[in-house]
Structure 1
Amino acid sequence: MADDAPDKDSKTEDATDKRLEKAREEGDVPSSQEIKNLASLVVALILVAFIAPWFMSDLSAMMSGFLGQVHAYPTDQEGMIRTLVDLVAGVGWLMAAPFALAVVAGLIANVGQVGLLYTPKKLAPKLSTIDPIKGINRVISKQKVVDLIKQIFKVAIVLLAAWLIVLPAVPHPDVMAGRPVEATLKDLHWLIVLLLMTVVVAFSAVAFLDLMWTRHQRMAKLKMTKQEVKDEHKQSEGDPALKGRIRSMRTQRARQRMMAAVPTSSVVITNPTHYAVALKYDMDDMAAPKVVAKGMDFIAARIREVAEENNIPIVENPPLARALHAAVELDEEIPQDHYKAVAEVIGYVMRLKGAGKVK
């Protein structure tokens, strides 16, 4: 509903990278139409200034040759069609260079602004585009007003350029009357080139300003509320509550695996109540005893319970229990600093087993 939509004034935060990337995937990119128009003008300038003389010269030679030999061409239907096809092919070949230049300029103008971009979502039909209410809003939108101002400004630029630059360069009619037609055509060609050059320079400024405006409008449209930024952060980083539950489940599973390792241990060293460390040692396979379980308070009590249930020897040695709990991680061998103290405990346990006091 409209009432649930965020107020535009509440959108005070700049769009995040994720929001910008999503907009790009949907085809919402800062593409200026004036940049494309400028590219078309540059192409027109190149065509008129450099290619048009060559094109007209070749076209004139082609047409002269064609008209000069018209009496020699076949008059039957098949022959006339073949002649016409050859003529069209020749003209088409002459047009290939200008056409290719226009296509390349359009691609450069588009790719230069937004890069290579394929957006299926942009091509998909949207029902909102046929909504009459939204259609009226688009007609009277701020962007349409800006577009109208741009068009008026461009027309004014062309008229001003023609008045200040082109008209003063036009030869007086008396001068033109006494000149050959070819010289007059060259003058006309130069005036057109001069007009296009002036318009290209002026439109470059228009295109630059339009590009800045387009980017500004896009960033303003993609602004986010503080809540939207928070929600996106939660989605990216994960809901803290959910992360807490996942962390708790992982801890619980790790604790269960640790408790399952207590029955395989050789001895449990305790504080006796606050710390408990279960060590496993096999002189045939292990270089040093390894910590298979450890914990404090409640976990320490549970380790002792599991050890008692499985007849694992429990030795009280508070300094050693605290030291091993602090210095050794699970599934790690004890450091050399504790070899002597642990060896005494292991030796004590083995003597008990030898005496039949423990299993």
Structure 2
Amino acid sequence: MTATPSEDPHRVASHSPPLAGESVIEGVAQDDERGPAPSSEPPPLPGEGARGEAVSRLLARFEADYTACGQRRYVIPAEAQALAEAIRRAYQATVGAPAVLRRARVLTEFAASAPVQAHPDDLLLGSQRFADLTAAPDPGALESLGYARTTGHIVHDYEGLLRNGIPGYRQALTVALSQAIAADSRAHLQGFSEALSAFETFLRRHAEVAEDSERASDLRYLLSHPPATFPQALQLLWLGHVFLHAENPCAAISLGRIDQYLWPFLQADLAAKRLTLQEAFELVCAFCLKCCEGDESQNAVLGGVDPHGREATNPLSFLFLEAVRQLRSFQPSLTVRVHPGADPAFLAAACDLAAAGL
């Protein structure tokens, strides 16, 4: 880290989406101009070992995979080969087309062919891994990482993804394509449109394999609506993150200020009693374990101030610190923003995590 229990452990609480046209942000209490005063105590957090049976099983499964593999998973040759085949098919089918359309077709091929699976204990669907783990890395593949250039090291507009959802992006593309624009601009927009359709396919295929009807319902909802609940927002964020790695594998794609853009969803769920803090903690734990499956350089930023300079730490900031502490997970790597008005309890929790080597 750098500085700059539900009744059924297999499921989170029921979370019916709001009515059509109703915003998840509406009705959330706003702070006054002075902003919230830093609290001297953190929110009530799940106790040691209270992460839930499903998360405990997910952690055991991850640790078993890690032991069998004998390493953190940087490169799996079978995955590289599968992506190479998708690129080959896409480029053979688009000879003579603009480069942006050929790259978009790669995502179409990936979305249609990448294996998707669901495990009974999964709280979130989707994985950065879609090939069998190997006990030893391929020396040539590892060596090639040292020569890779101009990829990754980005933070996507995940806040925009959650705000607009697939329908918002589709509407914006439809409007843009209806206007008179230059040929190269039209090709880019057509490429964006195909990539978005590929992402829809990716979500739909995960909905089809979901063993939990609630998760499947959430995924189908996300095909035609922006997320309306914290579980839906976290699921869309995760699948969007996975999909970006399909275009840019091993690419240091980071998560940005995750506690800021996810908090309004959790805040609304807590206020409406759709979710408890314990259930939210289990989802955060599941998210951290998902991040450990692949990319080694996924940074998440916690705390700091809002655009008005007010202290921005919230209960979700604490949940991420606590999840990493209990799981001892190495991803996402955490960065905590520190400022003169930082919440003392949050700063103390962050320092404790750093002192523990996490």
Taking structure 2 as the reference length, what is the TM-score of the superposition?
A: 0.19
- Bigger Rg over Cα: 1
Higher relative contact order (CA 8 A, sep 6+): 2
Bigger fraction of residues in helix? 1
